Amino acid sequence: MKKAELEQQIEIALNSMRPFLQADGGDVELVEVTKEMNVHLRLKGNCSSCEMSGMTMKAGIENGLKNAIPQIAQVIAVN
């Protein structure tokens, strides 16, 4: 799969999760996809400073992305 196609699929998957983040005043931004299939994301708004952000990233977003795109190795939060 080409990088542009992969990024588009990730954005589609993230769009399905955004309403939950936005309901709490937050959002998520795709920063980078590495050749090792690591997805770097940045939490924004209220999500960036929430004490539950680590759980949101791993249990929520990472699981959702891996279900949609199984070749993703891991999701990494960046600031």
The verdict on pTM exceeding 0.85 is yes
Question: What pLDDT is attached to residue 1?
Answer: 77
Question: What pLDDT is attached to residue 66?
Answer: 96
Q: Is residue 6 helix, strand or coil?
A: helix
Q: Is residue 52 helix, strand or coil?
A: coil
Which domains, from first to last, does the chain contain? 3-77 (3.30.300.130)
Question: What pLDDT is attached to residue 79?
Answer: 86
Question: What pLDDT is attached to residue 3?
Answer: 87
pLDDT in tens, the chain (79 residues): 788 999 999 999 999 999 999 999 999 999 999 999 999 999 999 998 989 999 999 889 999 999 999 999 999 999 8
